[in-house]
Amino acid sequence: MDVTASFLSPRRVTRQIAVGSVKVGGDAPISVQSMTTTKTADVEGTLEQIYALAANGADIVRCTCNDQAAAEGLVQIVPRSPVPIVADIHFHVEMALAALEAGVQGLRLNPGNLRKPEEIKLVASEARDRGVPIRIGVNAGSLHPDIYKRFGGATPEALVESARLELAYFDEVGFSDVKISVKASSVATMIAAYRLASATFDHPLHLGVTEAGPLPGGLLKGTAGIATLLAEGIGDTLRYSLTADPVEEARAGRQLLESLGLRERKGLDLIACPSCGRAEVDVIKVATEAQAALNALDVPLQVAVMGCVVNGPGEARHADLGIAAGKKRGHLFIKGEIVRVVPEDEMVEALVEEAKKIIAEGVEARLLARDLTAEAEAAADRALLLDDRGTDVNHAQERIERIRRRVEHEGPD
């Protein structure tokens, strides 16, 4: 876990449950979930998507179980899946029971859709006997009409009350292997609902902004809600609900956790300056090419692309690896130390080559192997750039003299 996580609020302590091999809550790592968009009856197509999701950071995958064909598909999908499978149940108790029979490792029930107490308790009893956890998946768009009316809308209090009532049915049959979500499409409502849920329940919470929409807006909405709560120590698992390829959901979830230092970096973290007038190359172009090339390697490194040799290595000294652009040349650096100077047209190639060597040999070994003349070359490039641009671009001394004269002339009030 990254030291960055120590600057966040302490994580709220919750009960721990197990979704198959994945622990959720307690001291378990925050997990990433997504959902397939295929027809579950299409076994091969669904498995292909599940494997893609797992490869991009999903720890748990949810599949719809809306008819008999879907339930039968789950029978073949569950044992072949690389991650635990949760069956999504909406209206039919028969589908929940069929999914359990298929061997799923979790259920998601929407209290606004499956409403009969005896059916809810029947599913909970079956899940209890099989050791299968259930997510109480409250959604602002499908609240029970009675709750909606009582609270005057889909308020945070209404969402939490819906989860509380469902939990009471579970308690009646001695079932407590539960996680809870109280999602809304409004980011503000979602944040308030989860804060209230965190104060109300000790069960693990599954975070998400529902129906967030397509990229990039959906990504922004999801991040605004999920990251706010994670920073407050709330949340044990999460899902981005995007109108996009679900791989984007898994990737976003994993990157968010890595960015907050809540999961060990598994893939590339490319940072780049926004570019400015000091840049000697097209930073956006170089960063885009570097990201594509390094993504193909799937390296767990933080890599920096900086447009200025004067400040770049220092500003990105925390990066595992980076390149700073000068006039027709790039300064390749590791942890802020210049290791090589390369021609401009070889910068991306040099990054890729060095990334491979860092993975194979380690950072310390690559620092020991650095070109001993590189720092001197880099210093000469920096001096030349400063000489060309001038170190006093704001005419500081001239301005200071004018300020002094004005103060002396005007005097204090």
Domain membership flag for residue 70: yes
The backbone torsions φ and ψ at residue 252, rounded to the nearest 5 degrees and listed phi first, read -65, -45
Residue 316 scores a pLDDT above 60: yes
Residue 392 scores a pLDDT above 60: no
Domain boundary among 210, 241, 259: 259
Q: What is the mean pLDDT of residues 322-328?
A: 84
Helix, strand, or coil (residue 13): coil
The backbone torsions φ and ψ at residue 326, rounded to the nearest 5 degrees and listed phi first, read -120, -155
Close Cβ partners of 221 (under 8 Å, ≥ 6 residues apart): 187, 209, 212, 213
- CA-wise closest residue to 178 among 160, 205, 200, 151: 205
Close Cβ partners of 360 (under 8 Å, ≥ 6 residues apart): none
Spatial strand order of the sheet with 237-238 comes to 178-183, 134-139, 106-109, 85-89, 60-64, 31-35, 237-238, 206-207
Model pLDDT for residues 218-231, shown as the tens digit of each residue: 999 999 999 999 99
Could you count the other beta carbons within 10 Å of the beta carbon of residue 37?
Answer: 13
Confidence of residue 393 (pLDDT cuts 50, 70, 90): very low
- Please give the Cα distance from 124 to 282 (Å, whole number): 59
Amino acid identity for residue 246 in this structure: P
Helix, strand, or coil (residue 347): helix
Query: Are 201 and 65 in the same domain?
Result: yes
Position with higher pLDDT, 53 vs 7: 53
- CA-wise closest residue to 269 among 279, 261, 277: 261
Model pLDDT for residues 156-193, shown as the tens digit of each residue: 999 999 999 999 999 999 999 999 999 999 999 999 99
Q: Give me the number of domains the chain comprises.
A: 2
Query: Are 204 and 305 in the same domain?
Result: no
Which pair of tokens denotes residue 329?
A: 């040349």
Amino acid identity for residue 76 in this structure: Q
- CA-wise closest residue to 153 among 197, 193, 195: 193
Which pair of tokens denotes residue 36?
A: 């397939």
Amino acid identity for residue 156 in this structure: P
- CA-wise closest residue to 241 among 220, 261, 260, 265: 220
DSSP 334: E
Determine which helix (DSSP H) or strand (DSSP E) holds 210, and give its type and residue range.
none
Domain membership flag for residue 277: yes
DSSP 214: S
> Which parts of 90-217 are beta strand (E)?
106-109, 134-139, 178-183, 206-207
pLDDT for the residue 2: 58
Query: Are 307 and 232 in the same domain?
Result: no
Query: Are 220 and 309 in the same domain?
Result: no
Query: Are 180 and 275 in the same domain?
Result: no
Query: Are 32 and 171 in the same domain?
Result: yes
- Please give the Cα distance from 77 to 85 (Å, whole number): 8
Residue 238 scores a pLDDT above 90: yes
Q: What is the mean pLDDT of residues 65-87?
A: 97
Q: What is the mean pLDDT of residues 149-158?
A: 97
pLDDT for the residue 296: 87
Domain membership flag for residue 231: yes
The lowest-confidence range among 151-165, 183-197, 393-407 is 393-407
- CA-wise closest residue to 73 among 51, 106, 95: 95
Find the angle CA(152)-CA(111)-CA(79) to the nearest 5 degrees: 150
Helix, strand, or coil (residue 361): helix
pLDDT for the residue 93: 94
Domain boundary among 229, 259, 289: 259
The lowest-confidence range among 102-111, 206-215, 232-241, 308-317 is 308-317
- Please give the Cα distance from 351 to 353 (Å, whole number): 5
The domain in which residue 336 lies consists of: 269-389
Q: What is the mean pLDDT of residues 275-292?
A: 79
- Overall residue count recorded for the chain in this entry: 413
Residue 279 scores a pLDDT above 90: no
Residue 122 scores a pLDDT above 60: yes
- CA-wise closest residue to 310 among 339, 280, 288, 289: 280
Residue 309 scores a pLDDT above 90: no
Query: Are 31 and 171 in the same domain?
Result: yes
Residue 390 scores a pLDDT above 70: no
Query: Are 45 and 12 in the same domain?
Result: yes
Query: Are 298 and 224 in the same domain?
Result: no
Q: Give me the CATH number covering residue 301.
A: 3.30.413.10
Backbone CA torsion sign across 104, 139, 262, 196: negative
Average of per-residue pLDDT values in the chain: 91
Domain membership flag for residue 120: yes
Rank 106-120, 158-172, 300-314, 384-398 by mean pLDDT and report only the highest.
158-172
Confidence of residue 103 (pLDDT cuts 50, 70, 90): very high
Query: Are 82 and 123 in the same domain?
Result: yes
Domain membership flag for residue 82: yes
